[in-house]
Amino acid sequence: MNGFLYLLKFSYRNLFRVPKRTIIMILSLSLGCGFIIWDLNFANSGSREIMKDFLAQYAGNYHITHPEYYNATNKREFNHYKTMTDGDLKNNNLISKSTKRAIAPVFISGEKKTLGVLLTGLEVEKEKRLSTLYTAITVGAFLDKHGSKQIILGKKLAQRLDVQIGEEVAVIGQAIDGSVANDLFKVVGLLDFGGGDLEESLAFTQLHSAQELLSLPPERYHQRVSFDMDSEGLPLVKNSSVTSWTEILPEIAVSIKFIDNFTWIVSLIIVIVVSLGLSNTLMITFFEREAEFTSLNIIGAKTTWITASLMIEVFIMASIALIIGALLGFFATTLFHYYPINIEFFTGGKPIIMGGMTIKPLIKIYSVPQYYWQVPLMIYAFLILTMIYPLIRVIRRSKNAV
């Protein structure tokens, strides 16, 4: 025990033989560690905030439907003959955080053109409380909960149909009883999703108007869309199916996963670069102390003892640096938690269009606890690898090695 304590003291004192070099190495490690932790927290929070902003506009966190509503292999295909009621849920918490929707593919006809779109009947007041869809109305107004047979179109769709606010369009589809669904709807508002594709493919009306058009009983509907964005797990609902947004929008889910994984790859490259730089510095430092190692060999110090002292030096230096780096990463993350970053700072002042919708989120960075041990552990692993070559060179160059 006394021998180890002496070795520890010897190694610690050697750190200050060239203090400037030691400080530079500690700074490079601590700044690298702090930046990687902040960057991973930023990427994780950025993905989450962007998706919350995107999903809150329309898609929701998950959909509760009849078990046979969505196609098992392709969620873009659905059977609008499969409906549900509130009695299928038996969970007031799910009902309070979700909104009913009646959905069907229809044709909308203006004076000069007829186009196929997806018509969605909305619970107007709940949509305004839970989603941000109403904020996309730039011309006209959102649906009136007391109104009937009103319709909202995307700006692109309205342009293609050549219809204006206040004009009527014919809606034609198929009711769930097999009859032809057709009626006139008055255009009350236009949606602006920043020019995305959804502007050409969506239309919205009141839930009761959609139910009347599709011959749906008042208690029946197609989906309950949950906007509980803080819930990562999916609820278990008997006699109903729960479908996550990752299944409904797989291409966006894959993109988000790719960005998160790519951030780890970039972090790994940064660690490798920093480690290689430190390896070169350590080799120079060890060679400069070759005379010292030879003297220690002569007075009886074994090569294993010298090697252990060098490894302890690096371990102490790395521990100090990584503690400082973890603190820097934590303070930087906390700072940008209270002062969110505008995503347009990274896009030249332009909003992001994702899934056909414009996104302009402020990214509030949250700390992910596991990053504070995963990153230091990764850096320690690469430091050990980069120490091997300098130590082997030192041992081979020692003429009096014992």
Domain boundaries along the sequence of the chain:
2-55+253-397, 62-244
Token pair 């021998």 is found at 3
Compare 111 and 69 and report the one with higher pLDDT. Answer: 69
What pTM did the predictor assign?
Answer: 0.73
The SS3 of residue 208 is helix
Res 278: pLDDT: 73
Q: Where do the DSSP E strands lie in 207-342?
A: 223-226, 241-244, 341-342
Could you give the percent of the chain with pLDDT greater than 90? 21
Of 248, 169, 181, which Cα lies nearest the Cα of 214? 181
The burial class, CB within 10 Å (0-12 / 13-18 / 19+), for 2 is: exposed
Res 10: pLDDT: 60
Of 201, 208, 202, 205, which Cα lies nearest the Cα of 185? 205
* 39 CB neighbour count, 10 Å cutoff: 19
DSSP state of 55: H
Q: Are strands 202-206 and 150-154 parallel, antiparallel or unpaired?
A: antiparallel
Using the CB atoms, write b or e for 158-182: b if 16+ within 10 Å: bebbebeeeeebebebbbbeeeebe
Say which amino acid occupies 57: Q
Q: How confident is the model at residue 80 (pLDDT cuts 50, 70, 90)?
A: confident
Backbone dihedral angles phi then psi of residue 116, each to the nearest 5 degrees: -85, 130
Token pair 């109903």 is found at 240
Compare 38 and 239 and report the one with higher pLDDT. Answer: 38
The burial class, CB within 10 Å (0-12 / 13-18 / 19+), for 146 is: exposed
Dump pLDDT digits (tens) for 82-100: 998 888 887 777 888 889 9
DSSP state of 337: H
